[in-house]
Chain A
Amino acid sequence: MSRDRRVQGPDDATQEPAPGALPAVDSRLLVREEGLKGYVGEFRRKLRSGELGSLPVVLAVIIIWTVFGSLDSTFLSAQNLSDLSQQIVGTGMIAVGIVFVLLLGEIDLSVGSVSGLCAAIFAVLNVLNGMNEWLALLIAVTSGAVVGLIQGFFFAKVGVPAFVVTLAGNLAWNGLMLQVLGTSGTVNIPAESIVAKLYSTVFHSPAAAYVTAAVGVGLFLAASLLDARRRRSARVPSRPVAEIALRTAVLAAIAFVTAYILNQYQGLPLALLIFLILLVLLDLVLRRTTYGRRIFAVGGNIEGARRAGISVPFVRMSVFSISGTMAAVGGIFLAGQIQSASQTSGGGNLLMNVIAAAVIGGTSLFGGRGSVWSALLGALVIGSIQSGMNIMGVSNAVQFMITGSVLLAAVVVDSLSRRSQKAAGRA
């Protein structure tokens, strides 16, 4: 979340007079106060200018949990929250791919069908034809990447709008899935299959969850401190230690509370661990690599990116390939969840849910702003609503309407925040 990085005014120069710092202070320039007070002030300024970040979605999670928790106490039970943490993985994985596409300012409407297709490919290869399960898994995920590449080709090289390419793909890949499944219709995936285990494995030892939390927090702290030290020695503004401490404390609180809740039930689910590791890696790709920078550049200004020597078609095709790959991975997890691949795989409201998850999580539909973490947060919102309504026994009809309204609300927040960012000159 590069845009969430703290803006540092030239006041830092007064605190640490450095040759590389900007000595000129114009009274109109935004100046940030030192320490925690400055942090709060900066936070307020960002809110006012519509730079909401993940605040709305965090509020949404709190409201949803409060409402369902007060309506039915089982919602906030360790068992339900643990189950929730597993259930969101499939949707969340697909939503990660959508985040990449949204960063370009495009949309991929085929991810539902692609996820079903890849699950069917795995099931038919492994279960019906007895292929080695790792090989079948590899082929299924590669198929997702190839499907994405094909769609990306028609979008980036032929110039068909992504919306149309992927809408056509949505139908075509669904048809291919039915073809792959053939007369069998539904292929049951045995519980000992790798795919079922990927979803259902839980580390029962309480140490697993706590160690994972500790390692995550430790890595974050170490990376922050190292970065701050390097910045200080290079005499460029760095995060003050107080801020690093605050951030680490917040992360630690979230991580250890989650670990505690998971341990109250069965322990750390493997699926959640894989999802989190994947999110960390893809976040690094987006924020810390040239490739990630290019995705943001193309999402911000295509012409600017082209003039800077970035190959726009390459970025576009690769991003659609990532979206297809993540759809395949998500589809595998969803198949592991229900232990079958069927003609309804990847159908229903899955597509709406993953797009909703990405947008609710705070990734803009207009391109250039967002982070992979919005997939996690958005999937958590969508999953919580569904889980809560299932506990309450709400009918599908009402669930669809409510999920639709939440998506609309998220897009409204996105549009309004964009408008106010424009007004504040930050869009």
Chain B
Amino acid sequence: MPEPVLTLRGISKRFGAVQALKGFDLEVHPGEVVALVGDNGAGKSTAVKAIAGVNPPDEGVIEWQGRPVSISRPHDAQNLGIATVYQDLALCDNLDVVANLFLGRELRRFGVLDEVRMDQRARELLDTLSIRIPSVRIPVASLSGGQRQTVAIARSLIGAPKVVILDEPTAALGVEQTAEVLDLVERLRDQGLGTILISHNMVDVMAVADRIAVMRLGRNNGFFDKRSTTTEEIISAITGATDSAVTRRQARKREEER
């Protein structure tokens, strides 16, 4: 396996009395989809926000292509090549697809917007991702949920990132639309991007992830290779069936009996 593009070591984050992350580790390799799963409050969002520079971690090391880096602002993450697609997509419904794709980094020519080149590049980008939308010139409001999600993902790719973080990309989608988005995730992997996929949906995770990082109560609770694991194993790691108050009690009893 190639050298990881992004490495997190011992990341901790406190919010007041809550230890949201404790000693969290993660590695993302190029051309790999890492699913980040865990129950509500397990620390997935906090971990993502630490990577994306929204909430910098209190402790721990983030390494980018082997070099330690500090990500204290969303801008830092973007400059490194980390793109994040949040659950609410943050698309401007009144603008067309091209305008949304290039929002904040419009191409210009003689000081005015270069619509032709943006149009062209948008088409190329959507083509390479095999994204099908009616027209790049219709307002985003008229697209379906799946199409909007794909536009949001495509937008994150405009800056040619190396790692893409997808926060619950399929949460609000129907069966067919989910398939569309999962296809897109696979194409990201084919293009050599490292992808962090946050999902609650085990079917989706098992469908596209290469590795699965389980989080529980702000800590790692195991890394699983998709080829050698089962949904049941992951779910028990998520719920803590392998490590819960009940199992700990049983273990203690066993030790006492011995």
Contacts and interface: CB of A to CB of B under 8 A. Distances in A.
A24 B131 CA distance: 9
A296 B94 contact: yes
A128 B75 CA distance: 54
A301 B91 contact: yes
Given A8-B135, A289-B112, A310 B94 contact: no
Interface in B127-144: 127, 130, 132-135, 137-139, 141-143
B125 to A, nearest CB: 11
A3 B217 CA distance: 48
A367 B94 CA distance: 9
A288 B113 contact: yes
B51 interface: no
A22 to B, nearest CB: 7
Given A29-B134, A231-B116, A20 B92 contact: no
Given A297-B95, A303-B90, A289 B134 contact: no
A304 B103 CA distance: 9
Does more than half of chain B's interface fall in helix, strand or loop, or is it mixed?
Answer: loop
Interface residues on B, range: 35 or more
A61 to B, nearest CB: 26
Contact of B90 (A235, A288, A301, A368): A301
B124 interface: yes
Given A22-B127, A290-B106, A310-B104, A299 B94 contact: yes
Given A307-B90, A424-B142, A296 B95 contact: yes
B142 A426 contact: yes
A293 B106 contact: yes
A427 B93 contact: yes
Contacts of A426: 138-139, 141-142
A130 interface: no
B86 interface: yes
A5 B92 contact: no
Nearest to A310: B104
B99 A293 contact: yes
B94 A300 contact: yes
A21 B113 contact: no
Residue of A3, A22, A284, A304 with highest tally of chain B CB at under 10 A = A304
Given A303-B88, A307-B90, A368-B94, A20 B123 contact: yes
Contacts of B133: 29
A316 interface: no
Contact of A308 (B94, B104, B113, B132): B104
A300 B93 contact: yes
B249 interface: no
B119 interface: yes
A77 to B, nearest CB: 42
B120 interface: yes
Interface in A413-427: 421-422, 424-427
Interface string B97-119: 00100011110100111001101
Contact of A288 (B75, B92, B112): B112
A101 B187 CA distance: 42
B70 to A, nearest CB: 20
A406 to B, nearest CB: 26
A24 B92 CA distance: 25
A236 interface: yes
B183 interface: no
Contacts of A404: none
B120 A293 contact: no
Interface in A226-280: 227, 230-231, 234-237
Contact of B108 (A10, A20, A30, A290): A290
A367 B93 CA distance: 11
Contact of B112 (A8, A21, A230, A284): A284
By Cβ-Cβ distance, the 5 closest A-B pairs, closest first, are A308-B104, A300-B92, A368-B94, A300-B94, A304-B90
Interface of B: 74-75, 86, 88-96, 99, 103-106, 108, 111-113, 116-117, 119-120, 123-124, 126-127, 130, 132-135, 137-139, 141-143
Given A2-B95, A296-B92, A301-B91, 17 more contacts: A3-B139, A9-B134, A20-B123, A29-B135, A235-B120, A236-B119, A289-B112, A290-B113, A297-B92, A304-B92, A305-B103, A308-B103, A309-B105, A368-B92, A368-B93, A425-B143, A426-B139
14 contacts: A7-B135, A20-B124, A26-B132, A227-B116, A230-B116, A234-B119, A236-B119, A293-B95, A296-B95, A297-B103, A303-B90, A305-B103, A369-B94, A421-B141
